[in-house]
Amino acid sequence: MSVPDRATGDARALRLLLPIATLVLAVAIWHLVVRIYAIPPYTLPGPVLVAQTMVTDWGVLSTSLVATLVTTFEGLALAIAGGVGLAILFNLSRPVEYALYPIAVIIQVTPVLAIAPLLLIYLPQQGAVLACAWIVAFFPVLANTTLGLNSVDHNLTDLFRLYGASRVQVLFRLKLPAALPHMLTGIRIAGGLSLVGAVVAEIAAGSAGAGSGLAFRIAEAGYRLNIPRMFAALILLSIAGIVIFFALSGLSHLLLRRWHESAVARDR
């Protein structure tokens, strides 16, 4: 028994250690290259300088991080509400689906970077940023939830009918639970995309003037040739993306672990 256990334990340690080792190696090479070729910091700052900047500029950067995260989460929340709500509406009414689905696709396939400047004209800046985050994030929620709602076991549907279930009961006791795994997949994708949407809008808004998010800091630092701060803000954005991904994966695991195959550790 202990032999396969140790084997899986080793495999898990390897999966954790390898990416960390690779990352450390890359940072070391970065450091050496900057050092050996004496690259000036306004071209490529070394990792040590970036780390120092992170500490010295933490006041500005942390405020911006919070602003970006707030936008991201608001965008994600609206995307979940909009995506799930629309999917339910589509599922209840075919004509509504036929009427609105193509529009949802159009919104999705139009590059958000091209929409952002227009939104900035018609909406207050914070609203425009939020709208961008929503536009890129809602579609995966909608598409995956729709798929989930439509892939309910038809025998179970018959069973609910046989026992005289109302439409509300079918929706809440059958369709939504059955769609939950798909829905969570959509939400996991939407989390990352919502951050992308927020950043895109901030960059677009940044050139227009006001703003306070991390992406705005990157644009601003770029104009001032403050390259170390650009790197520091970029790294914070990466970390934010990673944390969002793991948080949503954790949520998904928490909700599905007891019953869904995808969340079950292969125990035998």
Partner 1 sequence: MRPGEFVSLLGPSGCGKSTALRLIAGLSEPSRGTIAWGAGAAPRARDIGFVFQEPTLMPWTTVAGNVALPLTLRHARTGDTAPRVAAALARVGLTEFRDAYPRELSGGMKMRVSIARALATDADLLLMDEPFAALDEITRFKLNNDLLDLWQALAKTVVFVTHSVFESVYLSGRIVVMTPRPGRVFKELAIEAPYPRDERFRTSAEYAADCRRVAETLAQAMDAAA
Tokens 């985050």 locate to: 133
Helix and strand numbers (H, E) in the chain are 11, 0
Asked if 165 touches partner 1 (CB under 8 A), the answer is yes
Closest approach, Cβ 161 to partner 1, in A, equals 6
Asked if 162 touches partner 1 (CB under 8 A), the answer is yes
Spatial separation of the C-alpha atoms in residues 151 and 189, rounded to whole Å: 20
Closest approach, Cβ 147 to partner 1, in A, equals 17
Measure CA of the first residue to CA of the last residue in the chain; give whole Å: 11
Torsion sign across C-alpha atoms 206, 211, 213, 219: positive
Spatial separation of the C-alpha atoms in residues 171 and 149, rounded to whole Å: 9
- One of 258, 265, 266, 268 touching partner 1 (CB under 8 A): 258
- Segment near partner 1 (CB under 8 A), from 87-95, 156-164, 208-216, 236-244? 156-164
Asked if 245 touches partner 1 (CB under 8 A), the answer is no
Comparison of 128 and 174: residue with beta carbon closer to partner 1: 174
Tokens 């995260």 locate to: 69
Site pattern 204..243 for partner 1 (x: CB under 8 A): ----------------------------------------
How many residues interact with partner 1 (rule CB under 8 A)?
A: 22
Nearby residues of 126 by Cβ (< 8 Å), 6 or more positions away: 71
Asked if 259 touches partner 1 (CB under 8 A), the answer is yes
Range 79-108, binding partner 1 (CB under 8 A): none
- One of 102, 153, 172, 246 touching partner 1 (CB under 8 A): 153
Comparison of 35 and 253: residue with beta carbon closer to partner 1: 253
Asked if 260 touches partner 1 (CB under 8 A), the answer is yes
Asked if 147 touches partner 1 (CB under 8 A), the answer is no
Q: Which residues of 5-22 are buried (b: 16+ CB within 10 A; e: fewer)?
A: eeeeeeeeeeeeeeeeee
Closest approach, Cβ 180 to partner 1, in A, equals 7
Residue 160 CB: number of other CB atoms within 10 A? 17
Spatial separation of the C-alpha atoms in residues 25 and 142, rounded to whole Å: 40
Comparison of 174 and 187: residue with beta carbon closer to partner 1: 174
Nearby residues of 257 by Cβ (< 8 Å), 6 or more positions away: 263, 264
Closest approach, Cβ 153 to partner 1, in A, equals 7
Please, are residues 54 and 231 in contact by the beta-carbon 8 Å criterion? no
Spatial separation of the C-alpha atoms in residues 102 and 106, rounded to whole Å: 6
Closest approach, Cβ 261 to partner 1, in A, equals 7
Closest approach, Cβ 159 to partner 1, in A, equals 6
Contacting residues toward partner 1, per CB under 8 A = 153, 155-156, 158-165, 169, 173-174, 177-178, 180, 258-261, 264
